[in-house]
Amino acid sequence: MAGATGDLGFRIAQELRKRGATVRALVRPGSTKPQVASLREQGVGVVEVDFNDAPALTQACAGAACVVSALSGLREVIVTAQAQLLDAAVAAGVPRFIPSDYSIDFTKLPEGSNRNLDLRREFGRRLDQAPIAATSILNGMFMDLLTGQAPVILFKIKRVLYWGSADQPLDFTTIANTAAFTAAAALDPTTPRYLRVAGEVATMRGLQAAASAATGQRFRRLRVGGLWLLKLLIKVTRRLVPAPQEVFPPWQGMQYLHNMFTGLPKLAPLDNARYPDIRWTTVQEVLVANLATAQHAR
Ligand SMILES: NC(=O)c1ccc[n+]([C@@H]2O[C@H](COP(=O)([O-])OP(=O)(O)OC[C@H]3O[C@@H](n4cnc5c(N)ncnc54)[C@H](OP(=O)(O)O)[C@@H]3O)[C@@H](O)[C@H]2O)c1
């Protein structure tokens, strides 16, 4: 596993252990993150390795049935580091690779509509050329963001904010469910190139109902404008606050929302039923569980 010290990756490692798998986490040399000790306590083998050291990385991949990446970053991570990991996996004879995609269906999006997803498509082309079986997990937006970063449900003013149509179906999955599904897929040698899941498919009307039910207060919808307006806003924001080194600057989140509101990257068909032990968390459950923090934040 690469990225096991990260938010999603740590949970994938946990889920793999829960399923009885032998897990090796490839962490940066000298990493002092508390997750490293925690991984060790859970029986995960921790290997410190520099991704630029091809022989060491190949050695670290040796004997694995599947390499799982949950790396996060820009070009130097999603394209460069993942390519180093891919080359090492191939050199070590690993049969399967799961890239760090975990997103809306970028295979259906035009080039240039989302910087971070363009990088995933670019790495995907490389992956498809490599002599290794690949499976991408596509999960829509992390549902957890609805009570965090994503400015969609505004608790203080009791509004759900959107562009375009209130009837556009959108895909949401919790980080925990994404981790559980990824772990199950990593242990399943028969997975296809893409697996698509959504804990809940909700329209803005659905989010409005979920927010109202979770809080016991009536939420209204706030349509800011058409998708053309959001596109314009993204352009302006990107010009004013470019933050080119940030993985998730505000304009990137706006690109993600714009993509979702177009309906183009909608996940279909869904593979939720593939591993029946996974119980999918709903938006309302996430809102209820995180109400205190969410109401405080917005
Ligand atoms: N669908 C959604 O809504 C959504 C939302 C958020 C994230 N995601 C995706 O989920 C995936 C995981 O994201 P996350 O939030 O879990 O990320 P994260 O918490 O930032 O963790 C990133 C992991 O990658 C490792 N890493 C980064 N650059 C590295 C490098 N050059 N060499 C070695 N390791 C490196 C980090 O190691 P250190 O701990 O040593 O830094 C860490 O383990 C990404 O693909 C991300 O885009 C999806």
CATH number, residue 22: 3.40.50.720
Helix, strand and coil content of the chain, in percent to the nearest 5, comes to 45, 15, 40
On whether both 29 and 105 belong to a single domain, the answer is yes
> Is 26 inside any structural domain?
yes
Nearest CA to ligand 1 atom 38: 5
Domain shared by 110 and 132, yes or no: yes
Q: Which amino acid is at 70?
A: A
**Can you tell me whether residue 153 is helix, strand or coil?**
strand
Atom of ligand 1 nearest to the CA of 51: 32
Per-residue model confidence (pLDDT) at position 146:
94
Q: Supply the pLDDT for residue 298.
A: 61
Residues 57 and 119 in one domain: yes
Q: Are residues 22 and 108 in the same domain?
A: yes
- Domain total in the chain: 2
Nearest CA to ligand 1 atom 24: 71
> Is residue 121 domain-shared with residue 160, that is, in the same domain?
no
Do 165 and 179 belong to one domain?
no
Q: Evaluate whether 67 touches 96 at the Cβ level (below 8 Å).
A: yes
C-alpha 72 to ligand 1 mean position (Å): 3
Ligand 1: centre distance to CA 157 (Å): 32
Please state, in angstroms and rounded to a whole number, the distance separating the CA atoms of residues 258 and 233.
Answer: 11
Does some domain include residue 71?
yes
Q: CA-to-CA distance for 230 and 260, rounded, in angstroms?
A: 12
Q: Name the residue of 71, 98, 139 whose CB sits within 8 Å of the most ligand 1 atoms, as the mutation to test its pocket.
A: 71
Residue 217 and residue 170 in contact, taking contact as beta carbons nearer than 8 Å:
no
Question: Looking at the domain assignment, is residue 271 inside a domain?
Answer: no
Minimal-distance CA residue to ligand 1 atom 31: 77
Q: Is residue 1 part of a domain?
A: no
In a domain, 100, yes or no: yes
Residues 281 and 146 both lie in one domain: yes
Find the 71 Cα to ligand 1 centroid distance in Å.
4
Rounded distance, CA 274 to CA 284, Å?
23
CA distance 83 to 62: 16
Nearest to 168 by CA among 30, 98, 273, 262: 262
**pLDDT at residue 253 in the model:** 92
Distances (CA, A) of 72 to 42, 101, 149, 180, 288: 23, 9, 17, 18, 28
Is residue 201 within 8 A of residue 282, CB to CB? The reply is: no
Nearest to 68 by CA among 179, 177, 171, 197: 179
* One domain, residues 68 and 114: yes
Provide the pLDDT for residue 109: 98
Distance of alpha carbon 178 from alpha carbon 26, whole angstroms: 20
Q: Is residue 2 part of a domain?
A: no
Pocket of ligand 1, candidates 48, 51, 52, 72: which has the most ligand atoms within 8 Å of its Cβ, to mutate? 72
Measured in Å, residue 49 CA sits from the centre of ligand 1 at 17
CA distance 67 to 11: 15
Residue 20 CA, ligand 1 centroid: distance in Å: 24
- Domain match, 81 and 192 both: yes
One domain, residues 65 and 37: yes
Q: Which among 171, 284, 157 is positioned nearest to 222, based on CA atoms?
A: 157
Q: For residue 81, give the ligand 1 atom closest to its CA.
A: 31
Give CA separation, 259 vs 94, 256, 284, in Å: 34, 5, 23
Give the structural domain span for 124: 7-140+173-196
pLDDT at position 214, please?
A: 96
Indicate whether 192 and 54 sit together in one domain: yes
One domain, residues 190 and 247: no
Q: Are strands 159-163 and 220-225 parallel, antiparallel or unpaired?
A: parallel
Bridge partners, 221 (sequence order): 160
Q: How far is CA 297 from CA 147, 150, 253, 283, 292, in A?
A: 8, 11, 17, 18, 9
At residue 227, the pLDDT reads: 97
Distance 220 CA to ligand 1 centre (A): 34
Helices 115-129 and 250-262: crossing angle, nearest 10°? 70
Residue 253 is assigned to a structural domain of this protein: yes
> For residue 186, is it within any domain?
yes
What burial class does residue 64 get, using C-beta atoms within 10 Å of its C-beta: 0-12 exposed, 13-18 middle, 19+ buried?
buried
Residues with CB under 6 A from ligand 1: 3, 5-9, 28, 31, 33, 51, 70-73, 77, 81, 100, 102-103, 139, 141-142, 145
Residue to mutate (ligand 1; options 8, 14, 84; most atoms within 8 A of CB): 8
Q: What is the pLDDT of residue 149?
A: 81
Model pLDDT, residue 296? 66
Average pLDDT of each block of 10 consecutive residues along the chain (298 residues)?
Answer: 98 98 98 97 98 98 98 98 98 98 98 96 98 98 91 93 98 98 98 98 98 96 97 94 92 95 98 98 95 70
> Which residue has its alpha carbon closest to ligand 1 atom 9?
102
Token couple for 251: 């304009």
